Amino acid sequence: MTARDTSSVGAPCWVDAWQPDPRAAKDFYGQLFGWSFDDPIPPPSGLDGDYYTARLHGKLVAGIGQAPPQSPPGWLTHVRVEDVGESLARAERVGGRRLGPFDAGSGDRFALLADPAGVPFCLRQAGGNDGVELADEPSCWAMSSLHTPDVGQAQAFYGAMFDWELKSLPDVPFSQWLRSGRVVAVVTATDGVEVPPHWSVNFAVTDADAIAEHAVALGGGILMAPVDAPGFRSAVIRDPQGGVVAVSAPRG
């Protein structure tokens, strides 16, 4: 099991990719990260297509589902809440915008919304799928990062929503989100043009260069070639349908 807290209210607890062709995405990410997949489950209310839960060593690590029509492919981060309806109402009071509530089956409820900068993410009320079971290990979710042109606005919104606090770090281009003293995510200031506002999802790997090469061989592309950063070597990959994911390997 992951040592990271994914069960507390206010903690990021799940990540999934919404894709025009979930089966093709399943094939790509399954080969890239060595994931197996459960049989497809019916889509959430309001969506079409199948939804696949991915496993590594038998543990839940992520999901892949059908993107709504005209929606771009991409990865979403889900934050655990006690009550989706109450959290949606709070989000609208502090500058967020609902994009659609859905029932995810097995007692799960989740809702898609946008923060004040228009960045989509999900609220998840626990049910049958209680979040990731394995994280911070190779081929597993390592961290989610908000890229936004207005860090102050984001601090006010996510603080009001989840009691997150911002902690600046010396000599690195990002800050940490803390909740109850524990790191839950990171945030990076962008210009909003060359790098549009978004939540990125980062997966841990043992070799960023090898994963980037493998992604290209599987039909994907590289948006950021592997580069060294403090403590890590990271790359940004585009999957064959245009979804973007980051990978990071620890440096010795």
* Domain locations along the chain: 12-125, 140-250
The structure's pTM equals: 0.92
| CATH (residue range 12-125) | 3.10.180.10
Within a 10 A sphere around the Cβ of 166, how many other Cβ atoms? 16
Mean of pLDDT values over 189-216 = 92
How high does pLDDT run on average in the chain? 89
Selection from 120, 103, 129 nearest residue 201 by Cα: 120
Average pLDDT of the segment spanning 111-116: 93
pLDDT value of residue 171: 74
**For 44-97, how does the pLDDT look when each residue is reduced to its tens digit (9 = 90+)?**
655 667 899 999 999 999 999 998 887 889 999 999 999 888 999 999 999 999
CATH of domain 140-250: 3.10.180.10
Model confidence at 2, in pLDDT bands (50, 70, 90)?
very low
pLDDT band for 1, please (50, 70, 90 cuts).
Answer: very low
- Contact between 236 and 190 under an 8 Å Cβ cutoff? The reply is no
For range 163-167, the mean pLDDT: 94
Q: Do domains 12-125 and 140-250 have the same CATH topology?
A: yes
Over residues 208-213, the mean pLDDT reads 98
Least confident of 20-29, 35-44, 61-70, 199-208: 35-44
Residue carrying structure tokens 């010396």: 170
Helix orientation angle between 151-162 and 84-93, rounded to the nearest 10 degrees: 150
Residue 6, both tokens: 């994914």
Give the model's pLDDT for residue 107. 54
Checking if the pLDDT of 11 tops 80, the result is: yes
Distance separating alpha carbons of residues 67 and 22, to the nearest angstrom: 8
Tell me what pLDDT residue 127 has.
66
Q: E strands along 95-151, which residues?
A: 97-105, 108-114, 120-125, 140-148
Q: Which two tokens stand for residue 144?
A: 């989610």
Residue 102, beta-bridge partner list: 110
